[in-house]
Amino acid sequence: MITGHGGDIFAAAMQIGCRPADIVDMSSNINPLGPMKELLDHLRDHLDSITRLPDVDASEIVEMFAARHRLQPGNILAGNGSTQFIYSLPQALAPKKVLILGPTYADYADACGRHGVKIEYCLAKEENGFQPDLELLDRSAGHVDTVFICNPDNPTGVLIPGKKITDICRRHPQTRFVVDESYLPFVPNSSKHSLVNNLSDNTVVLQSLSKIFRIPGLRVGFLAAAKPLVDQFRPWMLPWNVNGPAQAAAVFLMQHRREVEQFVDRSAAHVRKEREKLIDILKSGTEAALYPSETVFFLVRLPPGKTASQIKAALLQHRLLIRDCTNFRGLSERYIRVSIKTAEFNQLLAEKLIDVLNR
């Protein structure tokens, strides 16, 4: 398993001698407005779910997710977060050579690397604002058996219009495309970009409830694909892989569609407003380069002479935790990622980051 994920508030708290709850975690990409109060109330009412085994294959939430997207249950799997599917994919699909569109989430390479899969990269360039080279991706896709795309991308926040991905998928029917949409709900009108609503036979789509609903501790995500691809994953799914409270949460979220859609819309609007405000403040107060983003975080290139580890350590003294992006392939020790929180914490981050960058 790789080290250096965001959200490690326990190690950060030990480092400076405080409680984890005292850390303002701007390294983890989760909804600053969540969880929904109604969801928490629902979970309290269903605490007795821990006294019995959950549905062995989470069939209820699979059927509900399928119905919501006008798919068949055979097109869907529920898992212990989208991470379970990422790490079971090399066994399920047995790829020989994969292409990863990056810089991006390191677990795709980690999962493939531990099974000896050959990995190639299609890396977006800094001088192009980390916009992916879709022409290069299109030319390269026919030379591998599997392509990984995170959309919007982590850590750059770049969104590829869903139709452009679909067009590439259909031009390469012999290549499988794994599209991770974990951060897509933070994009306004996200459904028009989701490949779940327009599945190709060679596409595997991953979705997570962790980020937008701020329930990462429950671990629940979904895989959507054509039935032959889903059937390849089934032998690698463990029984009871989605726990009782996680299934109860998913049931609530899919039963209360109106309230959930309002919450998601409100969250996307908050993230957009606060992200642009924070970026504007940092642009005016520092020499850092700030890259446009369509989701709940944005990428920062630090000024010359500043390193991510130095800035992370300095901010941690103020109990602010940001993401050091040094271990993202295609980036360097000069990059950090900042996740949007409430207006109060965003303002605090702006003040402290400007201070440490201008020393």
Mean pLDDT of 231-257: 96
What is the pLDDT at residue 216?
A: 93
**Residue 2 clears pLDDT 70, i.e. is over it:** no
Convert the pLDDT of each residue in 92-149 to its tens digit.
999 999 999 999 999 999 999 999 999 999 999 999 999 999 999 999 999 999 999 9
Give Cα 174 distance to the centre of its chain: 26
- CB-based burial label for 137 (10 Å; 0-12, 13-18, 19+): buried
What CA–CA distance (Å, rounded) separates 318 from 104?
28
The share of the chain scoring above pLDDT 90, in percent, equals 92
CA angle 238, 96, 116 (to 5 degrees): 70
334-345: pLDDT as tens digits:
999 999 999 999
Name the residue with tokens 């407005």. 33
Q: How many helices (H) and strands (E) would you count in the chain?
A: 12, 13
Segment 175-202, tens digit of pLDDT: 999 999 999 999 999 999 999 988 999 9
Whole-angstrom Cα distance, residue 111 to residue 83? 10
CB 121 within 8 A of CB 113: no
Domains of the chain: 9-30+266-357 (3.90.1150.10), 37-258 (3.40.640.10)
- Predicted local distance difference test score (pLDDT) of residue 4: 52
Q: Rounded CA gap, 23 and 14, in Å? A: 11
pTM, two decimal places: 0.94
If one counts every other C-beta atom within 10 angstroms of the C-beta of residue 326, the result is 16
